[in-house]
A and B are shown apart, each in its own frame.
Chain A
Amino acid sequence: MADQNLPDLSSEASSVPETPVPATTSAVETKEKYLRFTILQRIEHITFLLSFTLLGFTGLPQKYANSSFGQGILAMLGGIETTRLIHHFSAAVMMVISIYHVMEVLYKLYVERTPWTMLPVVDDIRHVLQDIQYYLGFRKRRAYYGRYSYAEKAEYLALVWGTVIMGLTGFMMWNPITTARFMSGQAIPAAKAAHGAEAVLAVLAIILWHFYHVHVRNFNKSMFIGTLSYEEMEHEHPAELAEITARKVKSALSLPEIRKRQRIFFPIAGVLTITLGFGVIEFLTIEKTAITTIPRGETAAVFVPATPTPRPTPSPMPTPDQNRPVGSDTWDGFYQALFRNRCDSCHGATQVGGLSLKTYQNALDGGKSGPAIVPGDPDNSLLVQKQASGSHPGQLAIDELDKVINWIQTGAPEK
């Protein structure tokens, strides 16, 4: 198999290409190098590879955002918003490189008249069947691949399909308002479903198909160094090698003819590139999907006190009418009731300050500070002193106090 015959690439011996004749392989001929990819194509591949990898690496954790795998990568990349930024940037790179690729293909087809060897043909299906026969032992060797084997063609087609799908669905997700102007809004979640599933398909296909064919089975370095050796060509592209050696491949076109086609191609390609470039800019900027501020929260005012219940109308406790006809101007006749109503809260049971005004004797005894009532001497009666200040909690009215003073003046009779 091919890996048994890995060419010694360290010997950079490809000097003057002598005529390679597969039938009579000489040592010189096997050191021939066959150019497959120009430096521009290799740069194109690296750029596409990087954008693809970044897109996959930033896209899949978004699809699986709530798995531990997704969470881990999102955290590593600095959160989901940063991840989206990287994803969008990579998408822009891929769009630009894809436009470049379209222009390159058109140039090769029109100006250089390169045969469209990437196009799948019926032979490719035959090659698949031949290879299966070979694997199963019904055939002596693999199919004779041309410039591109069915494996490469399948991959290229998948890439074109994938890029188109991802571009379209990506646009719809990036610009949902614009999309909804032209189709049902449900196309946007559908685009999201397709974008995610296509991504899984693309990444798995790259790992399974691409990695196997160019890294595992045989490390094909042509995409990085540009050339394949004679042995590699013999194993990977025998039909193309045969064509080259049989000189079936047309030699370079005449310069004037190329110039003539370039004069037609470049203006058209220029307009096309500008149009597509404009398309990319539109893709990135066509709409401002959402506000960048936090949406308004509760609009009602927070502190709106309910109207308080009105205070109950005061209804003061009735006091004895001092001018009532019954009752005499004595402790029993008037003052006991007056003091009970006005003073009893504190100078009743609780004897605040040691003073009780429950009985005549209590009043004469007084509290800690001395007798409340000194018959005949209102000035030395503490009750009068306290009340005269006007700020005692249980305050007597002025005419009530006058009446008390008069009563004490007259000896404060009990009965």
Chain B
Amino acid sequence: MPVRCPSSSFFLIALGFLLIVVPVSLWGGGAYTQVALAASLSQESNPGEPTPQMSISDDTCLQCHSQPGLTMTLDDGDVLELNVSADEYAASIHGKQGYACVQCHTKVGNYPHPAWTAASRRDTTLALSTVCYRCHSSQYEKAQDSVHGAAQASGNKNAAVCTDCHTAHTVRQLTDPKTNKLRSESHVLIPQMCSKCHNAIFQKYTDSVHGAALIDENNQDVPTCISCHGVHNIENPTTAYFRLNSPQICAKCHTDKKIMAKYGISTDVLTTYVADFHGTTVSVFEKQSPDAEVNKAVCFDCHGIHDIQRVDDPVAGIQLKENLLLRCKICHPDATANFPSAWLSHYAPSAENNRLVYFVDLFYKLLIPAVLGGMGLLVALDLSHTLYTKYRKRKPAPPPASSPQTPVEEGQNG
């Protein structure tokens, strides 16, 4: 007991201290995000002076890592570049905001560095990019759920991780922090990023109507990769779901009157598609079973995927029935020259376009009311006469015993 008393009172004091300090520090500490911490770390460190072990300044790292040719040979023979350009890093968004090397490179802060275990350059990238989660957890988790994340999880090391797109030391700020929208100069960078891995598709895109407008004119209306595929949670575009949902992706812009007016493109493309056999089927499936495999044509089956051309393109434009027939034949191998005109080319039937359909519609617009009107008139007359005679018969006198002569008498009365 005499031994326990001092220790338990010490315990109580410590507990009381914690009760006061912890809530205060948690409450006040909320404001100190890692940004603030980073700023204090990088600004307070004074180059040339010995610095506390916790905050190793970038200058410390750069004493070695600014040396050109500083490399390390990994187990598989890959040469790992260890040189970082201080100027380039300073120009990056992280450099501008004063983030220190050690904030990302958390496990190499002490010297000598611990032994580097990654066996290849790719493994190095994979290991190091996990650190992005510390600040960008939302985007990181989205990327984990994406087609890239799924490929990584299934063992495909080539699948993109953060730094594959954003780079490690030259990360650019692509969005305007005020509007949270892409900066006008960012659009053109996106296909370049994706092209690092998807170069064959990128080449197709650059020749498409969208890609050419982006690259040649920095057109801000045309879609970049992310407009259709999403940003961090890029979904697998080869699924049944993606296929079924794809007309809605195209419709985002192509039913936007403001954008389409600039280029003289009809915004009826979705409604005319849905009115047709293909579109009706696709839209019903989309609503009722969005994961179903549906082979009815969607936008990209006719217009192309990454190589979309103008419909009046002199070479490949599908306005020309011969070009469209080639597209028809993908699904309808036996189709012949007349077959493409079964498609109404996104024109609602009118006296100018699709006259035959228009006149059939018109014929029935007249026939149906005429036939039903005639029938309805006779039915109405018969019904009202029946009710009238019934009423007349009931009111003045109770109906006589059933007799075949009755209608004749009524007719005389009426």
Chain A residues engaging chain B, CB cutoff 8 angstroms: 1-5, 25, 62, 65-66, 71, 74-75, 79-81, 128, 131-132, 134-137, 139-142, 151, 154, 158, 173, 176-177, 180-181, 183-190, 192-194, 197-198, 200-201, 204-205, 208-209, 212, 216-217, 231, 234-235, 287-298, 300-306, 311-317, 344-346, 348-353, 392-393
Contacts and interface: CB of A to CB of B under 8 A. Distances in A.
B184 to A, nearest CB: 24
9 contacts: A2-B407, A141-B411, A177-B339, A209-B379, A295-B330, A302-B198, A306-B197, A345-B64, A349-B60
A315 B68 contact: yes
| A-B pairs, 7 with minimum CB distance | A314-B69, A197-B364, A185-B341, A140-B411, A185-B342, A345-B63, A352-B111
Interface string B77-117: 00101010000000000000000000000000011110000
Interface stretch (B36-44, B49-57, B132-140, B254-262): B49-57
Contacts of B289: 79
Nearest to B111: A352
Interface string B348-382: 01000010110011011101100110011011011
B297 interface: yes
Contacts of A217: 382-383, 386
Nearest to B68: A315
A235 B294 CA distance: 57
B224 interface: no
Nearest to B66: A345
Given A65-B284, A295-B301, A316-B69, A189 B334 contact: no
Interface residues of B: mostly helix, strand, loop or mixed? helix
Given A186-B341, A189-B342, 20 more contacts: A80-B281, A131-B381, A141-B408, A151-B378, A154-B375, A184-B338, A185-B342, A197-B365, A205-B371, A291-B295, A292-B295, A298-B201, A298-B306, A303-B158, A304-B198, A304-B200, A311-B79, A344-B63, A353-B111, A393-B112
Contacts of B187: none
B387 to A, nearest CB: 10
A194 B367 CA distance: 11
A303 B122 CA distance: 15
B25 interface: no
B263 to A, nearest CB: 25
Nearest to A394: B64
Given A79-B289, A186-B356, A194 B364 contact: yes
Contacts of A66: 274, 280, 283-284
B268 interface: no
Interface size band for B: 35 or more
Given A74-B288, A204-B372, A212 B383 contact: yes
Interface stretch (B3-11, B175-183, B398-406): B398-406
Contact of A186 (B49, B283, B301, B342): B342
Contact of A346 (B111, B295, B333): B111
A3 to B, nearest CB: 8
B78 to A, nearest CB: 11
Contact of B305 (A158, A183, A184, A298): A298
B196 interface: yes
A137 B413 CA distance: 8
Interface centre among B285, B289, B338, B399 (most CB of A within 10 A): B338
A139 B412 CA distance: 7
A5 B294 CA distance: 59
Nearest to A172: B342
A294 B385 contact: no
B304 to A, nearest CB: 9
Interface in B284-341: 284-285, 287-289, 292-295, 297, 300-301, 305-306, 330-336, 338-341
B81 to A, nearest CB: 6
Contacts of B375: 154, 205, 208-209
Contacts of A293: 295
B293 to A, nearest CB: 6
Nearest to B370: A201
Contact of B338 (A1, A135, A180, A393): A180
Nearest to B48: A349
B199 interface: yes
B333 A291 contact: yes
Given A186-B356, A295-B331, A181 B283 contact: no
B34 interface: no
B186 to A, nearest CB: 19
B173 interface: no
A131 to B, nearest CB: 7
Contacts of A2: 407
B291 to A, nearest CB: 12
A393 B379 CA distance: 103
A361 to B, nearest CB: 16
Contact of B332 (A181, A289, A313): A289
Contacts of A304: 197-201
A290 B295 contact: yes
A5 B401 CA distance: 9
Nearest to A128: B378
Contacts of B56: 350
Contact of A294 (B110, B293, B372): B293
Contact of A350 (B60, B238, B294, B402): B60
A300 B195 CA distance: 13
A15 to B, nearest CB: 22
A350 B385 contact: no
Given A131-B378, A186-B356, A201 B367 contact: yes
Q: Find the residue from A134, A135, A137, A235 having the highest chain B CB count within 10 A.
A: A135
Nearest to A386: B112
A198 to B, nearest CB: 7
B195 A306 contact: yes
A137 B410 CA distance: 9
Given A209-B379, A311-B81, A306 B368 contact: no
Contacts of A131: 378, 381-382
Contacts of A183: 338
Given A189-B276, A351-B50, A71 B287 contact: yes
Contact of A193 (B197, B277, B361): B361
Contacts of A173: 277
A217 to B, nearest CB: 7
Contact of A300 (B60, B70, B200): B200
